[in-house]
Chain A
Amino acid sequence: MINQTPRLVLGICGRVFGARTRPRQNELDTLRCPTMLNSLANIGRFGNFSAQIAVRVGRRPFFYREIIAQLWSTTTQCVLPVMAVTFPFGMVMALQGLEIFRMFGAERMLSSLISIATLRELSPVLASVLVAAQGGSSCAASLGAMRIKEELDATEVMAVDSIKFHVVPRVIAMTIACPLLNIAGSIAGVAGGYFTAVYIKHESGGIFLTELWAFMGPMDIYGGLIKTTIFGLTIGLISCYHGFRATGGAAGVGKAVNDTVVHSVVAFITLNYFLTSALFGAVAP
């Protein structure tokens, strides 16, 4: 009876969480349990994977060429989508902002509002969404295809650490690329606002440029860069995690890409709230 107690407890816990008490041997890795337990297990696996990456970052050899190649491909892939998204968003902000400011006769304020909103919030978030959609998903797709074609196993057979060679450069490249793309996005966003305000709504261009930096502090510029560095790290880790664990042929790669985009967007938008509160000090006086 005493010997049976742990199994009994486990069994009751399993019933409560709905898990099967004794998983079949071939299901041990992907425990067929309901959503809650499974997502908890996934969070654990993700933490484990991140720790494995963190251990390998400081260790020789550093694959510089691989890092630079990944950085180049991520940046060139993403720069056009990022600018193509922030430019029209700046235009929309000018369009809607003018409507508010004309109520108070404060059209002068428009450009400072646009620059603050773009640098602090819009450009980091939109750039990261596009980096997740373009860079993260292509990273997951390429790693997933390597996993399916057993190229990662081949790397291991050749006594090259596959995480060290394939994953770490991608994560580092994503972490560096995201702030760079944020700079491009910020410039495009403010340019979009200028375009609408001056050429479409016929405000004065000189006032726009003078007032651009009126409320701007150094924290507004660094804050966006700090945020996007953290977002880039998140996207890199999540996309490599999903790509590295892809199973089940072409369908598995599709699912990995899908999960990458959704999970990384949810993760960094949740982080964004806490980072904004911390960096820009928005607490009740």
Chain B
Amino acid sequence: MKRIEAINDFVIKFANVNGSGSASANELFAKAILRMGVSVSPRNIFPSNIQGLPTWYEARVSKRGYHGRRGGVDMMVAMNPQTWDADVAEIEPGGYLFYDSTRPMPKSKFRDDINVIGIPLTEISNNAYADPRERQLFKNIIYVGALSMLLDVEVSVFERLFAEQYKGKERLLDSNVQALNLGRDYVKENVAAPDLPLGIRVERSDFVGDQIFTDGNSAAALGFVYGGATVAAWYPITPSSSVPEAFQRYCDKFRVDAASGQHNYAIVQAEDEMASVGIAIGAGWNGARAFTATSGPGVSLMTEFIGLAYFAEIPVTIMNVQRGGPSTGMPTRTQQSDLIACAYASHGDTKHVLLFPDDPHECFEFAAMALDLADRLQTPIFVMSDLDIGMNQRLCKPFKWDAAREYDRGKVMSAADLESGREFARYKDVDGDGIAWRTLPGAHPTLGSYFTRGSTRDAYARYSERGPDYVYNVQRLLKKFKTAAGLVPQPELRPAQQTTRLGVIYFGSTSPAMIETLDILAAQGIHLDAMRLRAFPFPDSVERFIADHDLTYVVEQNRDAQMHTMLVSELDINPACLMRVLHFDGTPITAHFIARSIAKSAAASAIVAKNFPVQSEAA
């Protein structure tokens, strides 16, 4: 029978029952591959549930360093009887099925075009352990041990990982090593060539280098620490809760004054999302750097407040770790479907700045940058992550901080500025960039106070319902938004290897799958210039990019092509110049999906292109 042969290049998927302790065993497996110097990117596909429902962990091992989902499964570790049939069906022909063979399975439950490796995991575990909880937990380590043998992962790598994890808890260290060896020994004694090692396996490499392995949510939390956030308010919601939780952990470690023991931060778990953003806005008004983290349903609740912060011009940072919507939607699945809800949040004419990080490294950078932008622009700044980036560990560039970097506190008039006789007009555009100067409460005994509100006012913050005052103010806000386009992270360009009339626009968590897609398509002779958007508002370069191509694909993870809509309406683009590539089933987009979609469309549009002579090609 055919078997898939690949070194350092395969997809392995673990099908588990949630609450069974499999998550940490699977993570151990992924980390061990990393320690072999081989690129791996795992993804949790988990239910909105605490115990008993199916959960999967898909690890992509890639010798080229692709971090996106590829599509397809080369090896299935089938530990969940509930999902057995679907799991077995998902394996690529020639792939591998690893299962617990303690209880015999009828022949009809298998396929004849895959390689089957049965290990009596329950039996091994039950023979070695008496305590039911230990039996369950160590069964997970036993399968990791068996897999490590089958895939050629060195045992010393595990020993080191255990030693780091259980430093000072030697008893746990020993028992984990023992469980791992139970699995390894069984394979050694009972599995013979050609099954040992498998056609897919791991070989020591030096691909990882100085990269780090972390998740977007804790990276963002660290970014907020480095960026100087002092007030955080939040309400628990999947998949964003681990942002404030990690912020708390980092603050406990790095923000406690050594001499006094006092905290240089304040974190409040509020009663709801409205209070969370209200607290952050109150702190921003009063000159502290503040953020809240939430997901789509939370943004819906915060919308009124976001309009207030936009109109009263209060700095605030909102981290939106997007999940599947609408309503409760798919709480534990990923989507990029809050773009319009955030870009235009609240009633009336509003526009907000959005940042689109594509990995944990950028989550760190953009979180810190968002605090600067919020102060500079005096407006809400959204960091638009999603579950795929936020809750999965990803290999990425190490965090960096420029030692000379100061926080940009924006236009704040001090007591001395006020004393100097400079005029203070809270809502007047004195610099021509649409951004007015503000003062902080308590700044000066007689100068610079103002009463701000969500209702209309003149340039001096005095209540006014006069049309010209209103128009001046909202036009200035529009000018400020233009200014923002120059301050936000600019798009990242990946030119095709040869001249092409096709372009593709993508952003956020689509990024790793897109990079792989570009290689797949180039190999098929389809070349695309690629532009990764990193923020909204769009700088002029986006418009030029679209104008420079006959057809630009817009790849996004939502049903309604929200980025496409924003491009068309904000840049007055002829929709015929854009082609949608949409993925929205809640799983992270795959390279195979994008490549298939674009290849099909490119083949169809090639006919049109032939009747359409293009000058640049002749030249």
Instruction: Say whether A and B bind each other.
Output: no
